[in-house]
Amino acid sequence: MLVPLLIGVGAAFGAVSNSSAVMVSKEVPQNAGAAILAPFVSFSIEFSSLPDFAENTSKPNQFSNQILDNLANPQGVKPDRALYDPNIKTQINGTFVPSITEDFPWIISIGPSYFEADSTWPGAKFSHGFNLGENTTAAMDSLTATAPLACKALSHGNFAHWDLGNEPDFYKTMLAARPANWTESDYVAEWLSKSQIVKRQIAKACPDMVTNPAYKYIAPSFAGFTYGLDPVTTWEDGLGKNKDIGMNSMHNYMGSADSPGVTLAHTLMNHAAIVLSMVKHTNLSHTLSEKGLNKDIPYILGEMNSLAHQGQPRLSNSFGAALWGVDFNLYCASQSIGRTRMHQGTDYRYAS
Domain membership of residue 3 (yes or no) is: no
For 10-22, the pLDDT digits (tens) are 333 344 456 678 8
Domain that holds residue 107: 37-344
Report the number of distinct structural domains present in the chain.
1
Domain membership of residue 136 (yes or no) is: yes
Q: How many CB atoms lie within 10 A of CB 306?
A: 30
Domain membership of residue 242 (yes or no) is: yes
For 134-147, the pLDDT digits (tens) are 999 999 999 999 99
Domain membership of residue 25 (yes or no) is: no
Task: Return d(Cα 253, Cα 274) in angstroms, integer.
Answer: 10
Beta strands 245-253 and 299-305, pairing class: parallel
Domain membership of residue 14 (yes or no) is: no
Domain membership of residue 11 (yes or no) is: no
Least confident of 3-17, 109-123, 231-245: 3-17
User: Torsion-angle region of residue 221: left (phi > 0), alpha (psi -120 to 50) or beta?
Assistant: left
Give the CATH number of the domain where residue 164 resides.
Answer: 3.20.20.80
Beta strands 55-56 and 59-60, pairing class: antiparallel
Amino acid symbol at 325 = G
Domain membership of residue 16 (yes or no) is: no
Mean pLDDT, residues 8-37: 67
Mean pLDDT score of the chain, rounded to an integer?
Answer: 88
For 220-231, the pLDDT digits (tens) are 999 999 999 999
Domain membership of residue 196 (yes or no) is: yes
Dihedrals phi, psi of 284, to nearest 5 degrees: -65, -45
Active site residues: 184, 303
pLDDT of residue 262: 94
